[in-house]
């Protein structure tokens, strides 16, 4: 009997306008979202490849250890074509620095393009699915009882020896058997499009995740079917039921997702980023002051007092990079001592900075958590959270990546410390200590013997009005080993490699057990409510 009712409903639905239009909507919207996402992924992947190649090349071109700063590029997640999660907002580049722990990934893909385009939103497969499946679920169930009541067939049916539970079961089965093919079709269509696209290849694990996403979608669809059934069982006419269902749909699928973010922002306050930057800058200032104090306390090196002579080839950048050639032994030694003091201190200061950074980061996370919690008012919110967890594009996945990056930074520092490199000349120069010269020898070599000592050069130089001429005298003879190009690149094959952070699907789901179980419980509860309401339904 159940199956007869189900079959009748199924056939009825199949011929109805809503099925045809719903099907056409899917046929149009699903490829639309998937193709846009694939396009997006392809672009990100291209950028990722070129970025990664560029850094790999850069690492190989380093000559001194102080120049070694690994950059981690996070590959775009292939499953982001289904759910983009937060992958569009967070960056994909994590720089490993001595003076700062990685807080947020930098290098937002958005900064590569027109920044105005960031004000355009774009919807992904899950976004479309959340809208379409909920609409279909409601459209097929809102009149489950009211329509038959209006036709008078409900009374007729109930006059037969047919239990209401069985009737309800038949209805549910009929609706689901109509919608299940649509859902499966949507997934097959997207799978087909993905298989057709060249640059996107999915592993077996990814396909498992997609299958799981389909199951989650089915649960989500079920929740809305039960909402529709419940509303139908509580209303007298189809029009009432339809009106209510449509408003519920707008509320769940459009208002709650925006409301959750907006409320999250107003309930949880995040301190201003400017404030944090100021705190970090103050700490940096304090640190640099210590560097200066240390440098001033060092004994005066035997210097020529001509900066261009003392620091012949000298490059510094932020975060302690220092590379120098062609200086005197005592200047080399002075710089080595400064680095031996400054670099460990820099690492200590990174820990000090992290206290404020962590507080900021935590407030961002808290805000997002509250927003997530509010969004779970709507099954669509819970569905999106579960879906982005399945696709590994959610906040947890990102946090895991950042944790892994921070751990990697420690490993990297351990690697440097293991070599005791901060106290070595190799930190600042590729030149061998045996080759360091005295200032007189340098002057003699550079001027091609024209001046034998610094004193002689000085006597000449003070008479030169043109500063450039003073310098030019020193370039008469090219001294080997006074430029970076004279040295080979550093061999860093023993440098530790970033291990990545992907975890198994089970862990991912365990972290998101709440929204997932919420969806399931909502489904069961609504079904129960619908059942109770239908038992009391006046079929006349």
Partner 1 sequence: MLRIILKREILHNFYSMRFFVSLALVLAVFIAGSLSFIKNHESALEKYREARAQSLDDMKKDAERNATLLAVTRRAYDLRPRDNAFITDGKEKYLPNSVTFSAWNVFSFLNKSGSTNPFLTKFDDLNWSFIVAMVISFVTLLFTFDAVSGEKESKTLALTLSNPVPRAVLLMGKYLSAVLSVLAIALSGLLISLLIVHLAGLIPFTVSLAFEMTGFLFVTGLLTAFLAAFGLFSSVVSRNSNVSLLLVLSIWLLFAVVIPNSSAFVAKNFFPIEGIETVEIKVNKAFDDLNKNAPPGSWVLVSGNPFVPQHELRANIQRKRLEAEKAIRDSYYRNMFRQFERTRFVTALSPVSLFQYLTEAVVGGGYPRFRKVWDDMHVYQEQFLAFFKALDARDPKSPHWWNPFENVSTTRKPVAFETVPQFEEKPMLFADRIRPAFKYILINVLSACLVFFLSFALFVRYDVR
> Counting Cβ atoms within 10 Å, is residue 181 exposed (0-12), middle (13-18) or buried (19+)?
middle
Residues 279-318 that bind partner 1 (CB under 8 A): none
Please, what is the minimum distance in Å from the beta carbon of residue 27 to partner 1?
A: 12
Q: Rounded to a whole number, what is the largest CA-CA distance in the chain?
A: 121
Are 33 and 123 spatial neighbours (Cβ–Cβ below 8 Å)? yes
Helix spans in 235-315 (H) = 238-250, 256-267, 273-297, 307-310
DSSP H or E run through 72: strand 71-73
Candidate residues 160, 203, 466, 493; the one interacting with partner 1 per rule CB under 8 A: 466
Q: State the nearest-atom distance from the C-beta of 203 to partner 1, in Å.
A: 26
The footprint of partner 1 on residues 128-147 (CB under 8 A) is 128, 131, 135, 139
Closest CB to partner 1 among residues 22, 70: 22
Task: Report, in Å, the least distance between residue 163 CB and partner 1.
Answer: 30
Which stretch, 184-192, 447-455, 467-475, 486-494, contacts partner 1 (CB under 8 A)? 467-475
Q: Which residue has the tokens 């992924």?
A: 41
User: How many CA atoms within 13 Å lie on the side-chain side of 301?
Assistant: 22
Q: Choose which of 467, 524, 532, 535 interacts with partner 1 (CB under 8 A).
A: 467
Q: What contacts 462, CB < 8 A, 6 or more positions away?
A: none
**Would you say 85 or 228 has its CB closer to partner 1?**
85
Q: Give the shortest CB-418-to-partner 1 separation in angstroms.
A: 35
Bridge partners of 321, per DSSP, are 317
Q: Is 264 in the site for partner 1 (CB under 8 A)?
A: yes
Q: Which is nearer to partner 1, 77 or 343 (CB)?
A: 77
Pull the structure tokens for residue 523: 């489904």
Nearer to partner 1, 249 or 412 (CB): 249
Residue 320: partners with Cβ closer than 8 Å, 6 or more residues away: 66, 98, 99, 339, 342, 343, 346
Binders of partner 1 among residues 368 to 427 (CB under 8 A) are: 368, 371, 384, 395, 398
Binding to partner 1 in span 79-108, by CB under 8 A: 85-86, 88-90, 104
Q: Which of 398, 346, 391 is nearest to 92 (CA)?
A: 398
Cβ distance 335 to 324 under 8 Å?
yes
For helices 379-390 and 329-375, give the axis angle rounded to 10 degrees.
Answer: 140
Structure tokens at 461: 């130089």
Stretch of residues binding partner 1 (CB under 8 A), selected from 55-63, 68-76, 291-299, 365-373: 365-373
Number of DSSP helices (H) and strands (E) in the chain, helices first: 19, 4
Cβ distance to partner 1 smaller for residue 140 or 427: 140
Q: With the CA atoms of 533, 255, 364 and 376 taken in that order, what torsion angle do they form, in degrees rounded to the nearest 10?
A: 10
Site for partner 1 in 21-40 (CB under 8 A): 21-22, 24-25, 29, 32, 36, 39
Total number of residues binding partner 1 (CB under 8 A)? 79
> Measured from the CB of residue 415, what is the shortest distance to partner 1 in angstroms?
30
Q: Indicate whether 462 belongs to the interface with partner 1 (CB under 8 A).
A: no
**What does the DSSP assignment read for 438-490?**
-HHHHHHHHTTTS-SSHHHHHHHHTT-S-HHHHHHHTTSSPPTTSSGGGSPPP
Residue of 57, 204, 274, 299 that binds partner 1 (CB under 8 A): 274
Using CB under 8 A, which of 27, 62, 189, 270 touches partner 1? 270
Rg for the chain, CA atoms, rounded? 34
Q: Give least dist CB 368 to partner 1, A.
A: 4
CA atoms of 363 and 90, how far apart (whole Å): 16
Site string for partner 1, 40-59 (x = CB under 8 A): ---x----------------
> Which of 23, 48, 263, 514: binder of partner 1 (CB under 8 A)?
263
- Determine contact, residues 374/260, Cβ cutoff 8 Å: yes
Tell me if 199 contacts partner 1 by CB under 8 A.
no
Q: Which is nearer to partner 1, 67 or 107 (CB)?
A: 107
> Contacts with partner 1 in 426-445 (CB under 8 A)?
none
Q: Is 114 in the site for partner 1 (CB under 8 A)?
A: yes
CB of 178 to partner 1, least distance (A): 15
Binding of partner 1 by 168 (CB under 8 A): no
Residue nearer to partner 1 on the CB measure, 64 or 131: 131
Residue 95 DSSP code: E
Q: Which of residues 225-254 bind partner 1 (CB under 8 A)?
A: 239-240, 242-244, 246-247, 250-251, 254
Q: Using the rule CB under 8 A, which residue among 155, 166, 278, 419 binds partner 1?
A: 278
């Amino acid at each position: 009997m159940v199956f007869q009712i189900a079959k009748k409903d199924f056939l009825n639905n199949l011929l109805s306008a809503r099925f045809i239009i719903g099907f056409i909507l899917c046929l149009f919207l699903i490829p639309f979202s998937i193709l846009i996402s694939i396009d997006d992924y392809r672009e990100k992947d291209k950028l990722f490849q070129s970025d990664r190649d560029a850094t790999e090349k850069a690492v190989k071109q380093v000559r001194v250890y102080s120049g070694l700063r690994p950059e981690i590029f996070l590959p775009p997640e292939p499953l982001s074509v289904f759910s983009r999660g937060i992958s569009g907002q967070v960056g994909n580049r994590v720089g490993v620095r001595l003076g700062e722990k990685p807080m947020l990934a930098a290098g937002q893909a958005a900064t590569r393009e027109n920044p105005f385009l960031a004000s355009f939103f774009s919807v992904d497969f899950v976004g479309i699915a959340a809208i379409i499946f909920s609409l279909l679920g409601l459209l097929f169930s809102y009149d489950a009882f009211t329509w038959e009541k209006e036709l008078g067939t409900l009374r007729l049916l109930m006059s037969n020896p047919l239990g209401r539970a069985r009737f309800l079961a038949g209805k549910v089965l009929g609706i689901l058997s109509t919608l299940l093919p649509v859902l499966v079709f949507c997934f097959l269509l997207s799978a087909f499009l993905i298989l057709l696209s060249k640059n996107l290849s999915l592993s077996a694990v990814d396909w498992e995740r997609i299958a799981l996403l389909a199951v989650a979608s089915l649960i989500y669809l079920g929740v809305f079917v039960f909402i529709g059934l419940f509303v139908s069982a509580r209303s007298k006419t189809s029009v009432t039921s339809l009106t209510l269902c449509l408003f519920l749909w707008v509320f769940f699928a459009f208002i709650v997702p925006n409301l959750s973010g907006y409320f999250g922002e107003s309930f949880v306050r995040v301190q201003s980023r400017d404030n944090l930057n100021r705190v970090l800058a103050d700490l940096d200032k304090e640190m640099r002051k210590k560097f200066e104090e240390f440098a001033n306390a060092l004994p005066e090196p035997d210097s020529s007092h001509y900066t261009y002579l003392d620091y012949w080839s000298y490059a510094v950048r932020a975060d302690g990079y220092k590379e120098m050639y062609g200086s005197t032994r005592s200047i080399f030694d002075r710089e080595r001592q400064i680095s031996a003091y400054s670099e460990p201190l820099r690492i200590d200061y990174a820990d000090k900075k992290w206290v404020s950074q962590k507080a900021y980061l935590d407030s961002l996370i808290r805000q997002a958590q509250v927003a997530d919690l509010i969004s779970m008012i709507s099954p669509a919110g819970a569905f999106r959270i579960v879906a982005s967890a399945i696709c590994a594009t959610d906040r947890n996945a990102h946090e895991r990546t950042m944790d892994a990056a921070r751990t990697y930074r420690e490993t990297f520092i351990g690697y440097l410390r293991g070599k005791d490199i901060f106290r070595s000349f190799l930190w600042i120069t590729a030149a061998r200590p045996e080759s360091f010269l005295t200032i007189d020898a340098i002057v003699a070599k550079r001027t091609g013997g024209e001046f034998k000592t610094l004193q002689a050069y000085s006597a000449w130089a003070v008479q030169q009005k043109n500063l450039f001429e003073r310098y030019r005298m020193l370039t008469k003879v090219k001294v080997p080993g006074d430029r970076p190009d004279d040295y080979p690149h550093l061999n860093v094959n023993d440098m530790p490699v970033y291990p990545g952070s992907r975890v198994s699907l089970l862990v991912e789901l365990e972290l998101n057990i709440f929204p997932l179980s919420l969806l399931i419980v909502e489904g069961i509860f609504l079904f129960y409510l619908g059942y109770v309401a239908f038992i009391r339904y006046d079929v006349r």
